[in-house]
Structure 1
Amino acid sequence: MNIVFLDRETLSPETQLRRPDFSHTWQAYERTSAEQVAERIADADIVIVNKVKLPATLLAHARRLKLIAVAATGTDNIDLAACAARGILVSNIRGYATRTVPEHTFALIFALRRSVCAYRDAVRAGRWQDARQFCFFDHPIRDLAGSTLGVIGDGELGQSVAAMGRALGMRVKFAGHKGRTGQGSLYTPFDQLLAEADILTLHCPLNDQTHHMISAAEFGRMARKPLLINTARGGLVDESAVGRALEAGQISGAAFDVTSEEPPPHDHPFMSLLDRPDFILTPHVAWASAEAIQALADQLIGNIEAFVAGTPRNPVKPKT
């Protein structure tokens, strides 16, 4: 078996990536450009990939390809229909981030809710000395207990975030995706959640139904001026509308770990918000605790070994 890893650099260098327990050749590239993909996968039986795009036009060059082992949960960078048509199995990683992403989500919530970054910057600027007393009150500080946490997305991550919220004394409400109905009494209608939440956190996939599910119109319905937290996918929110919502006071803060283009270009709308005390941008690292990445790497090799043994795990099929 010829195994090719197209973007090893997307896993931390400290991560131990053991070799599969069967006879194979192994070629790991730190990164692969679009122009290099066809040549590098041409003789591969198994391709490991995280973020490199594999459209049908490039997959056509891989005549021996049997498995694409995705080193992530999301598979929107792969043409799943083309893989299915050619008998190529796609497997992904599941359940590895149920602690790290929720913890990062709440790190962002705490930082904004208690104005941690704003007070840090004020102290750095000498404001504490200027205050001439033991403390000062330049920025708002709010407790989480008693507030309403709106969770959009009810998978493992959304459920884990909800459990943390309940442990902190928050009222937790789940909403279906925008436009979805008939989900039962345990769900709050999307528009109603926009009006009732003190904090909105996104934990849903990016697809045609969820793209820009929050934009200018939705910001206008956020009656309680909530925090908006996105550790899911950048395209869920119209990023050009976030700055206007902050300026207009429609939301009290926003924190993103993801952008629609990564890394964001220098003229991305978020780049002009980085000096604001009510905005935080982290570089898609919510998933990246040392423990979580190691669990991902172990599961990745396990998926490959299971496939070769004839018992494939975590198959991903195109939506019909």
Structure 2
Amino acid sequence: MQSIGVDNVDLGAATEHGVCVTNCPGFCSEEVALHTIGLIIDLTRKLTYFDRKVRQGKWDPLLGYTTHRLEGKTVGLYFFGSIPRAMIPMLQALNVRILAYAPTKTKEFLETYGVEKAETFDALLTESDILSLHCPLMDTTHHLISERELKLMKKSAFLINTARGKVVDEAALVKALEDGDIQAAALDVIEDEDTEQSRLFSLENTVITPHAAFVSEDSFYAARKMTLEQLVQRLSTDQRPTHLVNPGVSC
């Protein structure tokens, strides 16, 4: 059983040995959505940045990059699963334009949420004032954001990553932040969460949280409940688990 992501499980080996692998999709959507909104507001208002400066004895509201109102800005969402959908009412309350790159979703489907469809990933990159990543880690999303993509973004843009650390090429992001290719980044995940080290830690135009977006007593309860339901399905009723992620397994 995994919470959501299964990139740390050898699904081929599990399938070969008859092991059912399940996850708990959506168990923390509300938490991650709210955390993402918090990071957007943090960067927009420089909350963490100002806190650091005040603690250093620097009481100056004009330090750092220039701030602007969120109203009318474009928030770009990469993919449109349960977390971005939970964000929609929060974003609408901020009176922003919402743009999504979601190849499997139709324009009409996105419009029911008040969301515009970006026809290409490059269009999402070039139009977004704030780019928020919400994709799983797969071969096609590994280093999805690298030097080319960061160069396409606005120099005033913010990057938010509450997905997986390896979706972003961290070396390219460090360079982009140092060179001013984008304005700032807020991350709940980093590439190396084994040693918990990153060059991003030394940059002032970053906000980093310790892979904590999913955390709440309510999400923990939901995950445990979903896990037990999967076990009951498999062991007590001999059903295939609802949220099986290796459907080729004989179980």
The TM-score with structure 2 as length reference comes to 0.86
**Counterpart position of 2:220:** 293
Q: Is the 8 A contact 1:202 1:229 kept in 2?
A: yes
Q: Which runs of 5+ in 1 are unaligned?
A: 1-68
- Using the alignment, how far apart are the partners of 2:196 and 2:105 within structure 1? 39
Which residue, out of 105, 122, 136, partners 1:205? Answer: 136
**1:271 equivalent in alignment to 2:201:** yes
Secondary structure at the counterpart of residue 165 of structure 1 = helix
**Counterpart position of 2:63:** 138
**1:155 equivalent in alignment to 2:65:** no
Q: Is the 8 A contact 2:155 2:180 kept in 1?
A: no
For residue 248 of structure 1, what is the amino acid of its counterpart?
Answer: D
**Counterpart position of 1:116:** 47
Paired residues, what number? Answer: 236
- Using the alignment, how far apart are the partners of 1:314 and 1:241 within structure 2? 35
Q: Is the 8 A contact 1:200 1:227 kept in 2?
A: yes
- Using the alignment, how far apart are the partners of 1:86 and 1:253 within structure 2? 45
For residue 317 of structure 1, what is the amino acid of its counterpart?
Answer: N
Root mean square deviation, CA, Å: 2.0
Q: Per the alignment, do residues 83 and 245 of structure 1 end up closer, same or farther by CA in structure 2, a change over 3 Å counting?
A: same
Q: Higher RCO, 1 or 2 (CA under 8 Å, sep at least 6)? A: 2
Where in structure 2 are the equivalents of 1:298-309 lying within 5 Å? 298-309=225-236
**1:85 equivalent in alignment to 2:10:** no
- Using the alignment, how far apart are the partners of 1:125 and 1:208 within structure 2? 43
**Counterpart position of 1:171:** 97
The TM-score with structure 1 as length reference comes to 0.69
Which residue, out of 227, 236, 241, partners 2:158? Answer: 227
Which residue, out of 127, 132, 136, partners 1:196? Answer: 127
Q: Is the 8 A contact 1:101 1:287 kept in 2?
A: yes
- Using the alignment, how far apart are the partners of 1:83 and 1:125 within structure 2? 51
- Structure 1 vs Structure 2: percent identity of aligned residues? 35
Task: For residue 84 of structure 1, report the CA deviation from its aligned partner.
Answer: 2.2
**1:316 equivalent in alignment to 2:250:** no
- Using the alignment, how far apart are the partners of 1:226 and 1:301 within structure 2? 42
Task: For residue 183 of structure 1, report the CA deviation from its aligned partner.
Answer: 6.0
Task: For residue 174 of structure 1, report the CA deviation from its aligned partner.
Answer: 0.4
**Counterpart position of 1:23:** none
